[in-house]
């Protein structure tokens, strides 16, 4: 039987970065993906790095986002050094715009939440916004400006991370799905794959929105059921589809990321203007709808009218891992040696560097360097 110290299930940004950190620490790591590494949400996302306080984040989740943003510069540098990969990463700043009175009032509330959390921002008048980004519609009334927000080319980053893991010694395997997590006596034994069992002391479930399909077994053994028990019908992590499009316009009409009511618009180094994204929970079907594309195009052209003349390049979709309470699932299972790292929902690209650190801490038996108690998978236990 094959043996590893740790098996990481899922080679998206989250799983690959964890595998990389553990391999760097000298662990024998197997990183499994049922497809090519990075083929799912991690390459579909918009790549925006935009932590904000507000109703979407509990305080520990916000702490993870902010720490991750602070780590991004060093993290991307390290990935480049480890692999030689080139990919875009820029602190662009981000404008959250208001076009009418109601949006301006909502923005005021949003600004108070940032102030309370100590997140740097500026309140800009419509004229200020137009001075900063002359292509924005004259209808703009106000904006919140986040100078620290930015973007990364997640499509390339996720490939580079799997390479970095492999170069650090991890055994990265494409097209080898985990079929279940093997347990005995209340602790993890390893992972079953179509090629047999890989026995391991620790297993990390980082299978994105499919993580809920990986229940530990055997089932029915008293005290031995992990929180992902197969008998549960209410899976605590599932998909939230996102549709997203790219246009092309040269010279690029905007420098900063622009967030409006219906879309986030960002200009990339390669000339693409990425406009995203819809949020449709509860479906594993990745079709692109005319309605989704029409709404994103309308929101983009409303904010930056010259985009009406941009070339349409592509549309695609991905499935965000969404937990029942929209917060990440990062922590130890009741089954000893089993760890969860999923549920990052709209912020998984942002959350990658810090999640890799805290999950390596957990696997190595250290106290995690950030507080993550509220992210425990045990909160979903019945
Ligand atoms: C349209 C869209 C826009 C987004 N925009 C942003 C953004 O701007 N900023 C941001 O921070 N986040 C954004 N996100 C969210 C972000 O992309 C995700 O939160 C993040 O990529 C999740 O990473 P992951 O590694 O957990 O999941 P995934 O990338 O989905 O990786 C999971 C992997 O597990 C594999 N897998 C599944 N089951 C098994 C199995 N049984 N055995 C082996 N492997 C398995 C899959 O093949 C997959 O490769 C966006 C997402 C979408 C869809």
**What is the whole-number distance in angstroms between the Cα of residue 88 and the centre of ligand 1?**
19
Report angle CA 21, 16, 339 to the nearest 5 degrees. 75
Residue 382 has pLDDT above 80, yes or no: no
Burial of 273 (0-12, 13-18, 19+ CB in 10 A): buried
Please say whether the beta carbons of 35 and 174 come within 8 A.
yes
Residues 61 and 135 in one domain: no
Q: Decide whether any atom of ligand 1 lies within 6 Å of the 315 Cβ.
A: no
Indicate whether 70 and 189 sit together in one domain. Answer: yes
Q: Are residue 319 and residue 331 in the same domain, yes or no?
A: no
Considering the domain architecture, whether residues 249 and 159 belong to the same structural domain is answered as no
pLDDT at 231 over 50: no
My answer on whether 114 and 217 are in the same domain is no
Decide if pLDDT at 169 tops 80: yes
101: number of Cβ within 10 Å: 9
Spatial distance between the Cα atoms of 324 and 382, rounded to a whole number of angstroms: 13
Give CA separation, 343 vs 48, 79, 340, 348, in Å.
17, 24, 9, 8
Q: What is the pLDDT of residue 224?
A: 40
Closest CA to 32 of 195, 186, 168, 155: 195
The residue range of the domain holding 195 is 2-83+154-233+325-380
Quote the percentage of the chain above a pLDDT of 70. 95
Who contacts 318 (Cβ-Cβ below 8 Å, separation ≥6)?
Answer: 40, 41, 43, 44, 45, 241, 242, 244, 286
Q: Please tell me if the CB atom of residue 177 comes closer than 6 angstroms to any atom of ligand 1.
A: yes
CATH code for position 128: 3.30.9.10
Decide: 276 in ligand 1 pocket, CB within 6 A.
yes
Return the pLDDT at 215: 67
Q: Ligand 1 centroid vs 241 CA: distance in angstroms? A: 11
Q: Are residue 317 and residue 332 in the same domain, yes or no?
A: no
Please check whether residues 172 and 319 belong to one and the same domain. Answer: no
Q: How many domains does the chain have?
A: 2
Ligand 1 closest atom vs CA 318: 53
- Backbone angles phi and psi of 159, in degrees to 5: -65, -45
Q: Is residue 233's pLDDT more than 70?
A: no
- The C-alpha atoms of residue 182 and residue 214 are separated, in whole angstroms, by 10
Alpha-carbon radius of gyration of the chain: 21
Q: Is 348 in the pocket of ligand 1 (CB under 6 A)?
A: yes
Q: How confident is the model at residue 219 (pLDDT cuts 50, 70, 90)?
A: very low
Residue 220 has pLDDT above 60, yes or no: no
- Alpha carbon nearest to ligand 1 atom 20, residue: 348
For the CA of 158, the nearest atom of ligand 1: 29
CATH number, domain with residue 28 = 3.50.50.60
Q: Are residues 192 and 131 in the same domain?
A: no
Q: Measuring CA to CA, which residue among 316, 29, 348, 337 is closest to residue 209?
A: 348
- In this structure, the answer to whether residues 97 and 79 fall within a common structural domain is no
Ligand 1 and 207: CB distance under 6 A: yes
User: With a 6 A CB cut-off, is 188 part of the ligand 1 pocket?
Assistant: no
**Residue 324 pLDDT > 50:** yes
Confidence of residue 214 (pLDDT cuts 50, 70, 90): confident
Higher pLDDT, 227 or 151: 151
pLDDT of 192 higher than 80: yes
Asked if residue 369 and residue 244 are part of one domain, the reply reads no
Domain closes at, from 284, 307, 323: 323
Q: Is the pLDDT of residue 96 over 80?
A: yes
Domain boundary pick from 274, 290, 323: 323
Out of 307, 323, 339, pick the residue that ends a domain: 323
pLDDT tens-place string over residues 251-289: 999 999 999 988 999 999 999 999 999 999 999 999 999
Q: Which of 159, 207, 327 to probe ligand 1 with, by most ligand atoms within 8 A of CB? A: 207
pLDDT band for 230, please (50, 70, 90 cuts): very low
For residue 350 and ligand 1, the question of a CB distance below 6 A is answered with yes
Q: What percent of the chain has pLDDT over 90?
A: 90
| Ligand 1 geometric centre to CA of 62 (Å) | 19
Same-domain check for residues 66 and 102: no
Q: 243: helix, coil or strand?
A: strand
Average pLDDT over residues 53-71: 94
Pocket probe mutation, ligand 1, options 18, 32, 41, max atoms within 8 Å of Cβ: 41
What's the confidence (pLDDT) of residue 227? Answer: 58
Confidence of residue 226 (pLDDT cuts 50, 70, 90): low
Residue 228 has pLDDT above 90, yes or no: no
Average pLDDT of the chain, as a whole number:
94
Cα of 122 vs centre of ligand 1, distance in Å, is 32
In this predicted model, what pLDDT tens digit does every residue of 7-24 receive, in sequence order? 999 999 999 999 999 999
Residues 101 and 129 in one domain: yes
What b/e sequence results for 162-185 when a residue is b if at least 16 CB atoms lie within 10 Å of its CB, and e otherwise? bbbbbebebbbbeebbbebbbbee
Quote the CA–CA distance of 124 and 112 in Å, as a whole number.
Answer: 14
């Amino acid at each position: 039987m094959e043996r590893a110290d740790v098996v990481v299930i899922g080679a998206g940004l989250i799983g690959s970065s964890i595998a990389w950190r553990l391999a760097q620490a000298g662990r024998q790591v197997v990183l499994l993906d049922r497809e090519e590494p990075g083929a799912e949400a991690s390459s579909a996302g918009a790549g925006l790095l935009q932590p904000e306080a507000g109703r979407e984040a509990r305080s520990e989740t916000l702490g993870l986002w902010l720490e991750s943003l602070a780590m991004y510069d060093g993290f991307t540098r390290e990935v480049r050094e480890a692999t030689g990969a080139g990919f875009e990463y820029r602190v662009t700043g981000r404008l959250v715009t208001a076009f009418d009175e109601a949006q301006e009032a909502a923005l005021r509330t949003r600004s108070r939440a940032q102030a309370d959390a100590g997140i740097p921002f500026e309140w800009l008048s419509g004229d200020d916004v137009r001075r900063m980004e002359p292509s924005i519609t004259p209808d703009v009334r106000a904006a919140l400006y986040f100078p620290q927000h930015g973007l990364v080319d997640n499509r390339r980053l996720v490939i580079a991370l799997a390479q970095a893991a492999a170069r650090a010694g991890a055994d990265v395997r494409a097209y080898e799905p985990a079929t279940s997590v093997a347990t005995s006596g209340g602790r993890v034994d390893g992972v079953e794959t179509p090629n047999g069992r890989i026995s391991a002391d620790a297993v990390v479930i980082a299978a994105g929105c499919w993580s809920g399909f990986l229940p530990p077994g055997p089932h029915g053994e008293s005290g031995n059921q992990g929180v992902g028990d197969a008998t549960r019908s209410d899976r605590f992590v599932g998909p939230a589809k996102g549709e997203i499009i790219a246009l092309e316009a040269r010279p690029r009409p905007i420098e900063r990321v622009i967030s409006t009511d219906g879309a986030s618009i960002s200009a990339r180094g390669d000339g693409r203007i990425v406009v995203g994204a819809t949020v449709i929970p509860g479906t594993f079907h990745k079709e692109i709808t005319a309605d989704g594309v029409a709404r994103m195009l309308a929101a983009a052209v409303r904010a930056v009218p010259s985009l009406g003349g941009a070339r349409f390049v592509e549309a695609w979709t991905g499935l965000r891992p969404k937990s029942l309470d929209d917060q990440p699932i990062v922590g130890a299972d009741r089954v000893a040696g089993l760890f969860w790292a999923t549920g990052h929902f709209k912020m998984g690209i942002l959350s990658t560097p810090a999640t890799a650190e805290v999950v390596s801490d957990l696997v190595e038996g250290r106290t995690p360097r950030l507080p993550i108690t509220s992210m425990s998978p045990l909160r979903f236990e019945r």
